[in-house]
């Protein structure tokens, strides 16, 4: 059940990213702005909580991988934010449109993966 909820949350997030891209919102600028650190931690909390609950019920490696990624992201933002914001310069060398598309694709794939885990 939690894997299904997590999949729906990821797919909803992908749709929100698409809408923000359509509205010309600078997603990466928002993410890599140190002033938005608390928002990112709060935004990550439901993913962390639901993925942990999904691991307890489903015990699947894919869910464990998602949980570890969110846990590392949250821990980094809490205790070593300079590590989180360090790759900002590297990402500015890449095309912003490609990075936004990558963000939508990864979020969608993880959402579909969670839905598949919940069905199987």
The pLDDT assigned to 101 comes to 82
Report residue 51 as tokens: 């993925």
Query: How far is residue 116's CA from residue 120's CA, in Å, rounded to a whole number?
Result: 6
| Measured CA angle at 22 (ends 112, 88), to 5 deg | 80
The backbone torsions φ and ψ at residue 86, rounded to the nearest 5 degrees and listed phi first, read -60, -45
pLDDT in tens, the chain (120 residues): 899 999 999 999 999 999 998 998 888 878 888 888 899 999 999 999 999 999 998 889 999 999 999 999 899 888 988 877 776 566 665 667 777 888 889 999 999 999 999 888
pLDDT of residue 31: 83
pLDDT of residue 85: 75
User: What are the boundaries of each domain within the chain?
Assistant: 2-119
Query: What is residue 35's DSSP assignment?
Result: G
CA contacts within 13 A on the Cβ side of 81: 12
pLDDT number for residue 14: 94
Predicted local confidence at residue 111, as pLDDT? 93
Q: What is the pLDDT of residue 86?
A: 72
The pLDDT of residue 92 is 60
User: Measured on CA atoms in the order 51, 23, 38, 72, is the torsion positive or negative?
Assistant: positive
């Amino acid at each position: 059940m939690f894997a299904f909820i997590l999949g729906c949350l990821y797919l909803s997030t992908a749709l929100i990213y698409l809408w923000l891209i359509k509205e010309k919102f600078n997603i990466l600028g928002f993410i890599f702005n140190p002033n938005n650190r608390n928002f990112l931690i709060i935004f990550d909390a439901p993913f962390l909580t639901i993925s942990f609950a999904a691991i307890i019920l489903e015990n699947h490696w894919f869910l464990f991988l998602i949980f570890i990624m969110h846990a590392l992201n949250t821990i980094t933002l809490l205790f070593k934010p300079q590590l989180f914001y360090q790759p900002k310069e590297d990402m500015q060398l890449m095309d912003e449109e490609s990075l936004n598309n990558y963000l939508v694709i990864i979020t969608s794939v993880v959402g579909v993966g969670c839905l598949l885990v919940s069905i199987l």
